[in-house]
Amino acid sequence: MQKITLILLFCCFFISCEKQYESRPSIKVNLQNFSKPGTSIRALTILNDSTMMYAGSKGDVTSTSDNGKTWHTTAIKTDSITPHFRAISSTQKAFYALSVGNPALLYQLKGDAFEIVYKEEHEKVFYDSMSFFDDLNGIAMGDPTEDCLSILITRDGGNTWGKIDCALLPKIHPGEAAFAASNTNISIVGDNAWIVTGGTAARVFYTSDKGLTWTVINSPITQGKSTTGIYTSAFYNEKQGIIMGGDYTKKGHIAASKAITNDGGKTWQVITQEQPSYTSCVQYIPNTQGKELLATSTEGIYYSNDKGVHWKKVSNEGFYSFRMINKNKAWMAGNEKVALLEIQ
């Protein structure tokens, strides 16, 4: 008996005896709304427990460091161009905002100074999302200007960016692109990144080496039209992930709009439960062992306590995007508003 006890103690100490988290059976949410007239907000990032930054459709980059008590906004304009931002990210040293449309402008903020670190002019240019693997390596993605996705890479912390040649990327299908819905087209875990698309094809592009090599996997998400496909993705670890989307023009239409993976995206299982039928953003709730998730769209906010298999609507108030601060708080973003969400 003593020998068995010692073996169990050894296993717990050197391997893992993590206590299994018990999901909350249901939640209630409280929303503290902040009006942001004249701007549409689809990209926000959490810097710490009290600090959030977002970039909006009117060249506005705004931050709060006291959970919304005070706000600081910088209005960006380059020549006659007011950038429309839908993709942002940050490192320990800088903040980045990438505009959609032609020309695409990628701004770096260090201290109080904004500098353009990448510019691309093309009639088809349209960037959807960006993220960082670490403080040196970052990635941004956009719609194809040729026969592949537009993928930008930085290896020096965002000071310089380069576009990957199409010869090194999987070919895109005619009519396949991406949705700049919530800055969640890219999911990163370690050196791994997953990029999701929509339109005539809804696929998952995968790299295991920070963008050096790529493979592409078909998904079962509804596809075939310019408004259908994968709008958002999230990964809890290298194996467990979720993709969601649907059809923006048929938000109540029941279709294959949700799928989960347990093998790193090699295969996907459709979740057929009715709601939500359209989703623009999904995220794992921290410190719940990948069991709890939130999702949102203009139709409301939804909660899952079983790794994304079943969902319950917890608010009728709609948003485009959000990011979790911790297990019980999140910042939400939408049209002319942001909100601090608290789980009760």
pLDDT value for 17: 58
Average pLDDT, the chain: 94
DSSP secondary structure code for residue 133 in this structure: S
Is residue 220 one of the residues assigned to a domain? yes
Give residue-wise pLDDT tens across range 30-69. Answer: 999 999 999 999 999 999 999 999 999 999 999 999 999 9
The answer to whether residue 26 is domain-embedded is: no
* 296-316 mean pLDDT: 97
In degrees, rounded to 5, the angle at the alpha carbon of residue 41 between the alpha carbons of residues 38 and 42 is: 155
Q: Tokens in use for 289? A: 């062992």
Residue 178 belongs to domain with CATH number: 2.130.10.10
pLDDT range class, residue 251, cuts 50, 70, 90: confident
Task: Identify whether 214 is part of a domain.
Answer: yes
State residue 10's pLDDT score: 46
Mean pLDDT computed over 280-300: 98
Q: Is residue 5 part of a domain?
A: no
Beta-bridge mates of residue 304: 293
Helix (H) and strand (E) counts in the chain: 1, 28
Is 70 exceeded by the pLDDT of residue 170?
yes
Confidence band (pLDDT; 50, 70, 90) for 112?
Answer: confident
Averaged pLDDT, 205-213: 98
Q: Judge whether 10 lies within some domain.
A: no
In tens, the pLDDT along 93-110 reads 999 999 999 999 999 998
pLDDT band at 1 (very low <50, low <70, confident <90, very high): very low
Confidence at residue 4, expressed as pLDDT on a 0 to 100 scale: 47
Q: Please compute the mean of the pLDDT values over residues 87-98 and round it to a whole number.
A: 97
At 12-34, the pLDDT tens digits run 544 455 689 999 999 999 999 99
> 123-164, pLDDT tens digit by residue?
999 999 999 999 999 999 999 999 999 999 999 999 999 999
What CA–CA distance (Å, rounded) separates 244 from 69? 33
Contact indicator for 275, 246 with CB cutoff of 8 Å: no
Closest alpha carbon to 141 in 106, 113, 109: 106
Strand partners, 233: 243
Label residue 222 by pLDDT band (50, 70, 90).
very high
Specify the number of domains making up the chain: 1
**DSSP 8-state class, residue 170:** P
**What one-character DSSP code corresponds to residue 176?**
E
Asked if the structure places residue 256 within a domain, the reply is: yes
User: Does any domain span residue 9?
Assistant: no
Distance between CA atoms of residues 194 and 29, nearest Å: 30
Query: Cα–Cα distance between 160 and 158 in angstroms, integer?
Result: 5
Question: Would you state the structure tokens that stand for residue 315, as one six-digit string?
Answer: 């608010």
Is residue 17, in this structure, part of any structural domain at all?
A: no
Domain that holds residue 72: 31-343
Neighbours of 276 (CB within 10 A): 25
Cα–Cα distance for residue pair 10/141, rounded to 1 Å: 46
